[in-house]
A and B are shown apart, each in its own frame.
Chain A
Amino acid sequence: MMNLSLEAGFALNVALLLMLVCVGIAIAATRSLLAAILLMGIYSLVSTVWLVVMDAADVAFTEAVVGAGVSTIVLLGAMLLARGDTERHDWRRLVAPALLAAVVGGVLIYAALDLPNFGDPASPANSHVGRAYLEAAQHKTGALNVVTAVLGSYRGFDTLGETVVIFAAGIGVALMLGFGPRATLPAPPDVMGDHHVVLRVTAKLLMPLIALYAFYVQFHGDLGAGGGFQAGVILAVAVILHALVFGLRETVLAIPAKLARTLATLGVLIYAVIGLICIVNGGGFLDYDHLFASKVEAMIPPGLLGDPDGAHHWGQHFGIFFIELGVLLTVAATMVTIFYGFAGRMMDGGAAKR
Chain B
Amino acid sequence: MHDALVWAGGGLVVVGALFTLLGAIGVLRFPDVYTRIHAASLTDTGGASLVLLGLTLISGLNAETLKLGLVWIFVMLTTPAAANALANAAYGSGHKPRIGTFQIMPAAQPDAATVKEEYGGESK
Give the B-binding residues of A (Cβ under 8 A).
192, 195-196, 198-199, 202, 205-206
- Which residues of B have CB within 8 Å of A205? 77
A199 vs B78: C-alpha distance when bound (angstroms): 9
CB contacts (< 8 Å) of A198 on chain B: these are 80-81, 84-85
**Top-10 shortest CB links A-B:** A202-B81, A198-B84, A199-B85, A195-B88, A198-B81, A202-B77, A199-B81, A205-B77, A196-B88, A199-B84
A199 and B85 CA atoms in complex are apart in Å by 6
Closest B residue to A193 by beta carbon equals B92
Chain B 69-91 near chain A by CB (<8 Å), digits 1 or 0: 00000000110110011001000
Interface of B is mostly: helix
Residue of A nearest to B80 (CB): A198
A333 to chain B, nearest CB (A): 26
User: Which one of A192, A196, A202 lies within 8 Å of B78 (CB-CB)?
Assistant: A202
Residue numbers in A under 8 Å from B84 (CB-CB): 198-199
Q: Chain B residues with Cβ under 8 A from A199's Cβ?
A: 81, 84-85, 88
A205 vs B88: C-alpha distance when bound (angstroms): 20
Pair B77/A196 contact, Cβ less than 8 Å? no
Q: Per a CB cutoff under 8 Å, which of A192, A195, A206 touches B77?
A: A206
Name the interface residues of B69-118: CB closer than 8 Å to any CB of A. 77-78, 80-81, 84-85, 88, 92
Which residues of B have CB within 8 Å of A202? Answer: 77-78, 81
A134 to B88, CA, bound (A): 52
Alpha-carbon distance A205/B77, docked complex (angstroms): 9
Closest to A32 in B: B120
Q: CA of A88 to CA of B81 in the docked complex: distance in angstroms?
A: 37
In the complex, how many angstroms separate the beta carbon of A87 from the nearest chain B beta carbon?
19
The answer for the CA separation of A196 and B91 in the assembled complex, in Å, is 12
B91 to chain A, nearest CB (A): 8
- A195 CA to B78 CA in the complex, in Å? 17
